[in-house]
């Protein structure tokens, strides 16, 4: 993870500063504030601000004043009920803001979650760093033969080495060309005073999608849970799933009761369609049902059987 000395000094200053408040605070998350958690080869996730806690969810659900006199077990039971029955509005009362450094191709997948406030580093105004994501050997996989969105076997030997050389070479070459087109020193002066550099907003188009960008990403708890349920799933692309894993750690520190209910009812759960439930009931009644007699497509049948832990 590449954090400059200046960035580290800023992070240290932020972590050392404190402000009195009457707002609810969470000691476990306070301890994580501003700390950059490494992800991939140059990326990171850090929490920079938050609002609310588990009690805020309960308070919103009951529309009460203050924290009340309910027992903790009652509050936990209510949160679990809300999540189990998808009563989402109380979770929208809590918010969290992250500072994230990630490859551009991951950012373009991530931005599909349109229920957040995002402010990204602008290559129109600033020069991007010479930092690229290069997969570790165990994540350098071929295209899956059965899933258009998935990966197959890991590449080996000369083929893997060739791909790594291509990825590294393309990234370095296009960045060198990007820098040459800009014709700018770090202080903004031209490298070659006798020629004009290309505008930053045009030069950036030459960069590869594994170049790193950064953004601030703020969302409410409900939409964070939705993000994590999709991107933390084992079927999600590895390069975004590892970010979800780190964010799940902050969720556990911030709202532990909600996080546990989320893991029980969403992240570790499966759902069945109405036709699938009808077939499961027939199976439980002792009827022998196969895919041909089920009315399900072959893919839906396979997914149902996998969820049940049975061979298709």
Q: What is the set of active-site residues?
A: 231
Q: Looking at the DSSP assignment, which residues form a beta bridge with residue 45?
A: 37, 100
Number of H helices, E strands in the chain: 13, 7
Q: How far apart are CA 138 and CA 151, in angstroms?
A: 12
Contacts of 97 (CB under 8 A, 6+ apart): 47, 48, 49, 50, 216, 217, 218
Structural contact between residues 132 and 211, judged by C-beta atoms closer than 8 angstroms: yes
Which tokens belong to 208? 């590869």
Q: How far apart are CA 199 and CA 183, in angstroms?
A: 10
Residue 260 falls in which region: left (phi positive, over 0), alpha (psi -120 to 50) or beta: alpha
Q: 39 exposed, middle or buried (CB, 10 Å; 0-12, 13-18, 19+)?
A: buried
Contacts of 47 (CB under 8 A, 6+ apart): 29, 32, 33, 34, 35, 96, 97, 98, 250, 254
Structural contact between residues 91 and 223, judged by C-beta atoms closer than 8 angstroms: no
DSSP codes, 129-158 = PS-B----GGG-EEEPSS-TTSEEEEP-HH
Q: How far apart are CA 181 and CA 204, in angstroms?
A: 9
Which residue shows structure tokens 């059987």? 305
């Amino acid at each position: 993870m590449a954090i400059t000395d200046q960035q580290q000094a800023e992070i240290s200053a932020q972590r050392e500063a404190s402000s009195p408040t009457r707002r609810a605070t969470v000691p476990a998350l306070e301890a994580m504030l501003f700390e950059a958690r490494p992800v991939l080869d140059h990326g990171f996730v850090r929490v920079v601000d938050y609002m609310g806690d588990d009690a805020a969810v309960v308070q919103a659900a009951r529309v009460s004043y203050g924290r009340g006199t309910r027992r903790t077990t009652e509050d936990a039971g209510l949160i679990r009920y809300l999540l189990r029955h998808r009563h989402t509005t109380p979770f929208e009362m809590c918010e969290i803001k992250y500072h994230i450094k990630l490859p551009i191709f991951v950012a373009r997948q991530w931005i599909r979650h349109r229920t957040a406030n995002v402010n990204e580093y602008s290559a129109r105004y600033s020069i991007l760093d010479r930092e690229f994501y290069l997969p570790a050997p165990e994540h350098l996989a071929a295209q899956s033969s059965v899933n258009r969105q998935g990966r197959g076997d890991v590449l080996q030997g000369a083929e893997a080495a060739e791909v790594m050389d291509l990825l590294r070479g393309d990234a370095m070459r296009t960045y060198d060309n990007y820098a040459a087109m800009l014709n700018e020193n770090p202080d903004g002066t031209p490298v070659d005073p006798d020629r004009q550099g290309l505008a930053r907003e045009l030069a950036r188009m030459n960069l590869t999608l594994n170049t790193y960008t950064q953004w601030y990403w703020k969302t409410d708890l409900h939409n964070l849970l939705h993000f994590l349920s999709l991107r933390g799933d084992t079927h999600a692309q590895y390069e975004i799933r590892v970010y979800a894993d780190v964010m799940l750690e902050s969720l556990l520190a911030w709202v532990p009761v909600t996080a546990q209910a989320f893991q029980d009812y969403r992240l570790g759960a499966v759902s069945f369609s109405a036709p699938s439930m009808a077939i499961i009931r027939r199976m439980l009644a002792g009827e022998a049902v196969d895919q041909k007699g089920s009315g399900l497509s072959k893919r839906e049948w396979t997914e149902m059987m996998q969820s049940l832990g049975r061979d298709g």
